[in-house]
Amino acid sequence: MHPANQTKDQRVCARRDQIVAASRLCFRKHGFHGAGMAEIAKMSQLSVGQIYRYFVNKDAIIEEIVRRIVFKKIQIMAGGAHNLKQMASNLAYRVIGVQNIDHSKIDCPELSPEQNEIDHALMLEVTAEATRNPVVEKILRDAESKLFNEAKAMMTPYYPDMPEKELTARLEMMAVMCEGTAFRRLTQAHADPETLKTIYNQVFLKVFSDSTPSHTPEN
CA angle at 199 for the pair 193 and 205, rounded to the nearest 5°:
135
For 93-133, where are the alpha helices, taking DSSP H only?
113-130
Q: What is the pLDDT averaged over residues 193-197?
A: 97
Asked if 213 and 126 count as a contact pair (C-beta separation under 8 A), the reply is no
Q: Identify the pLDDT of residue 206.
A: 87
Q: Identify the pLDDT of residue 4.
A: 62
> Could you read off the pLDDT of 125-156 as tens digits, one per residue?
999 999 999 999 999 999 999 999 999 998 89
Q: Identify the pLDDT of residue 27.
A: 93
